[in-house]
Amino acid sequence: MDLVPYAIPFFLLAIAAELAWNAYRKTGYYRSNDAINSLSLGVLSTTSKLVMVDIAGRVYGWVQEELAITQWMLEGWVSLAVAFVAYDFCYYWFHRLSHERRIFWAAHVAHHQSEEYNLTTALRQTSTGFLIGWLFYVPCFMLGMPADVFVTVASANLIYQFWVHTRFVNTLGPLEYVLVTPMNHRVHHARNPEYIDKNYGGFFILWDRLFGTYRAEDSHLPIDYGITRGLNSWNPLWANLHVYVEMFRDSLKTPQLRDKLRVWYGRTDFVPPGIVKPPVQPGNHYDPSIGRGLKVYVGLQFAALVLVGLAMTYLAEGLGNSGLALLYVYLLGSLVILGWLLDHGEQAWEWLRLAASVALVFLLPLPPWLQSLLPALVLASALAYFFARGSRKTADQAFD
């Protein structure tokens, strides 16, 4: 059973609580643009599963039928406990290779782009992991693990990882030696050279201690969060695709065939001959300046899109394939446009998005009361946008 849909309301409540605590303590652990970008990636990741081909499910079914070397004889809590440990072991190697090899990093990088560290970072997930990430869990099905058991422990593992994305919890004493905690997972999200490529565990930090990838947080070495060459954009589509695009460009530019291939399968830090990368600038934080009214407008529009994403998740069967596909395209386009607003301030695409919002009323099978209400809400949004249009960012406002 997939436990994640049941956990989503608790995720949102926990984020609201941490945001309120952050405001009360005045710690500055949240920036609205960064948080919206993280949550946008989470919304896309969740809804993409409803419209993308289930490659993993098809492969796992075939492996279980044709390649399983034993039958799964365990039952009850014993079955779940053994499966959970086996899954977490596979997750460690999946996570480690997702940092060490470029083709896997391309799918995982979205989770590390945030230059803040809070509970919204936990929901910052990829939409392209379905392409090859399933490879690392094939051993579970070769051992005969039932699909329902696998889904249950995988979702439980993912839910556990949510709470460790916080700066409000310090050391947990002896638990630091056994479990992944906020302290040792903060290290994992650092781009400081001393911290990079450490602490890959999902639930057990024991794997890192066993395989030599553990690093404790040093109170004398403040963590700089993000990726070494910042994304410098609030576009969630670009956040998912930029490493793929970079690999494709590099493979075209480098002259040797060996290097063209190595661009894809080589180590993450491999730079092929003939390619010049921009210098790493640690400590820079991308933070374009736009008008306060426009920030509020984007926040309210994003909240409405979260409701669209929740509707897709919980009402998927009633919407049908065509309805899901239509809503996903609308959601993707809307989140990209809101990202552009956060990047650049006023731009004309928002008017087109609002017009598309009205068109959805006539294209989707909505209840009559909602068909009457939505045009009024869109009209109110159009008026709000007209008055909220803010200043564009300037080059010296983009970074702090």
Residue ranges per structural domain of the chain: 4-211, 236-265, 292-396
pLDDT of residue 43: 96
Range list of H helices, 222-268: 236-253, 257-265
- Whether residue 1 has pLDDT greater than 70: yes
For the residues 54-74, what does the mean pLDDT come to?
90
Q: What confidence category does residue 320 fall into, taking pLDDT thresholds of 50, 70 and 90? A: confident
- Whether residue 390 has pLDDT greater than 60: no
Give per-residue burial for 109-123: e unless 16+ CB within 10 Å, then b: bbbbbbbbbbbbbbb
List, for residues 6-58, the tens digit of each pLDDT value: 999 999 999 999 999 999 999 999 999 999 999 999 999 999 999 998 899 99
pLDDT of residue 396: 45
Cα gap 38→252, rounded to integer Å: 31
pLDDT of residue 279: 75
- Whether residue 378 has pLDDT greater than 90: no
Q: Which of 311, 309, 303, 305 is nearest to 365 (CA)?
A: 311
Q: What confidence category does residue 142 fall into, taking pLDDT thresholds of 50, 70 and 90? A: very high
Looking at the DSSP bridge assignments, the partners of residue 101 are 267
Q: Which of 297, 294, 260, 285 is nearest to 275 (CA)?
A: 260
pTM higher than 0.85 for the full model? Answer: yes
